[in-house]
Structure 1
Amino acid sequence: MPTAIAVTSADLVLPAPDRHTPGAAVLHPPEQLALDGALAEAAALLERHGHLVALVPPWLPAATVQRLHTVRAILETDRIALLGIDLPPLGLALLVRQLRQLSVCDFSPGVIASAARLLSHYIYAGALLGSVAKLDRIPVGLKAHARSWSPSAQFAVLAHPKPHLARLGTSGAQGTAALPAGPAFATHLTFACGQLTSDWVTAELAPAWQVQGVMENPLPADSPGWWGTQKLVEFAAGIPDLSVLYQLVASVRREECRWCGFELIGDRCGFCAAPLQSQSQSQTPSQPLTASNERRTAR
């Protein structure tokens, strides 16, 4: 069975692009499931899939993050990767779908886990906002704050890979011209509407970025909190083609984690978070060493 890819909310699971792409597991938060149930949930996934890769963005409630670490600690397993990826909700959902696509390929669990950081650099995530008065995720100038009080104001915001904010003119052309250049590679665009009526994303942004396809999705529940307003249309563009994703990941040199032994790409292990650098032998990873890790290190 492929490595299980997990999220903490069902609205972060985008529709599969084809019949071969598996779904994602949903690890329920403490207010929905008691600890015993969470332990059984994770244990069943490990029994079926062997390894579990869970996306843990920094905007999750502290209790949810603590629950995930507690489950991993009690199960005393090194087969659960908790990945802290900082993307807006819809951008995170897009990354999750890409990992789901890769999970059926011949990559080891360690490569799939560490590929999340690599693939996140190729996701363009932003939103059309009716106000930036409460936006604290990217720098917002005083003029933009002041203009947010106008009932007709709209702002095109790019949060990733490079923060950018532009106020749209009445026709929308001003905002399109002010946005940075879009991806220099083929992408599909996913968007989700909140309490803002506008076709700017599909009529202006998509043609400007020359995307190959557009898909609408329900707005994730965490999106209004992330963007600081209910008046928004969130969007995210990413690589849709599995063959391109595969080539991108396969082209990176693979290493063995000196701490836990998992295969990895990049500069950090996805399972224990130990850095690749030679000084990693004298450094501890961000999470406690499990009993399984101790046995593997001893060997």
Structure 2
Amino acid sequence: MPTAIAVTSADMALPAQDERTLPAVVLQDLDRQPLDQSLAAMQTLVDQHGHLIVLCSRAAPAAVARRLHIVRSLLESDRIAVFRPALPPLGLAVLARQLRQLASCDLGPGVLASAGRLLTHYLHAGAVLNSVTRLDHVPVGLRTHAKSWVPGSQFGVIAHPEPRLVRIGPEATLPGPEFGSWMLVARGQLQTDWITTALAPAWNVLGLREAPLPAESARWWGTGRLTEFCTYLPDLSVLYQLVTSVRRHTCHWCGIDVIGDRCVFCCATPPVHENPAPAG
């Protein structure tokens, strides 16, 4: 069985992008179920799939993240990876789907888990907000805070890869991807057409799709009056080429193949070998 890709709520499991996209494992209500139930479910997944990669939003309840780490610790398993990148919820859902696409390929679990860190660099995730007074994930100046009290104000915000914020107006613009990508839009309680009529054309997106707004988005952005968006690479062949073009190495601690400088399963980094002092 291929490596399992898990999310912590059903609305983070986006519909399949193609016929090869594997279904997501949904770890629903982790913070509400008995611990022994969580342990049994995780052990079954590991037994069935060999390895499990869990993507958990930083906006998820603290009890969910705590339960994940407790279960991993009690099972004493280095075959469970908990990945919590600094992405808004919709961006994390997109990343989870990309890993579900790649899980159908001939990639080892360590490479697949490491691919999550690589692919975040190709996501542009943001939102249109009616207020930035409770926005904690993007730096907001005092003047912008003051403008957010003006009735009818809307703000375009990029949270990843580089935080940016503008007040929406005729000349408003945000830096976008320098490569062809698709855009996913999730509408909340804010009515806006700026994303589809201004931002998407400015970014030369190749296509646009819509999805329900994740429940955790309001907590992440500090308001329920928002519309969230994320650009991404949809094609499996492109994703596979990106991942396989990176040099692999074997984790010195758990022995699996990985890419990048950190094993997502055991969290080990390559050992530092100091150069011997010259003979004097």
Q: Confirm whether residue 112 of structure 1 aligns to residue 109 of structure 2.
A: no
Distance across 2 between alignment mates of 1:82 and 1:147: 39
Aligned length: 274
Deviations 1:226-265 (A, max 9, x none): 1111111100011111111000000000000111111110
Segments of 5+ residues of structure 1 without an aligned counterpart are 281-299
Q: What residue number does 2:278 align with?
A: none
Contact kept in structure 1, 2:250 and 2:257, CA below 8 Å: yes
- 1:227-242 counterparts in 2 under 5 A? 227-242=221-236
1:207 pairs with 2:193? no
Secondary structure, in 3 states, of the residue corresponding to 2:17?
coil
Deviations 1:122-145 (A, max 9, x none): 100000111111111111111111
Identity of aligned residues (%): 57
| Match of residue 270 from structure 1 | 264
Q: Matches of 1:275 and 1:57 in 2, distance apart?
A: 23
Match of 2:127 in 1: 127
Aligned equivalents of 1:242, 1:119: Cα separation in 2: 12
Aligned-pair distance for 1:279? Answer: 5.5
Q: Secondary structure at the match of 2:116?
A: helix
**C-alpha separation in 1, matches of 2:256 and 2:166:** 43
TM-score, normalised on structure 2?
Answer: 0.94
Name 2:180's counterpart in structure 1: 186
Instruction: Give how far 1:215 is off.
Output: 0.8
Cα distance, 1:30 vs. partner? 3.8
Residue 172 of structure 2 corresponds to 175
TM superposition outliers: structure 1 runs of 4+ over 6 Å: none
Q: Which residue of 1 aligns with 2:12?
A: 12
Counterpart residue identity of residue 251, structure 2: C
Partner of residue 80, structure 2: 80
Are the aligned partners of 2:8 and 2:30 in contact in 1 as well (CA < 8 Å)?
no
| Contact kept? 1:268, 1:276, Cα under 8 Å | yes
Q: Quick check: 2:59–2:217 contact (8 Å CA) kept in 1?
A: no
> After alignment, is 59-68 or 139-148 more displaced?
59-68
CA RMSD of aligned residues (A): 1.4
**Which stretch shows the higher mean deviation, 18-27 or 96-105?**
18-27
SS at match of 1:204: helix
Query: In the alignment, is the contact (CA less than 8 A) between 1:267 and 1:277 conserved in 2?
Result: no
SS at match of 1:82: strand
Question: Which of these residues, 189, 211, 216, is aligned with residue 222 of structure 1?
Answer: 216
Could you tell me how far apart the structure 2 residues matched to 1:255 and 1:191 are?
37
Q: Distance in 2 between matches of 1:62 and 1:279?
A: 37
Q: Counting helix residues as a fraction of each chain, which structure ranks higher?
A: 1
Answer whether contact 1:262 1:271 (CA < 8 A) is retained. Answer: no
Quick one: distance in 1 between partners of 2:182 and 2:20? 19
Letter of the structure 1 residue corresponding to residue 214 of structure 2: P
How far did residue 47 of structure 1 move?
Answer: 2.0
TM, length-normalised to structure 1: 0.88
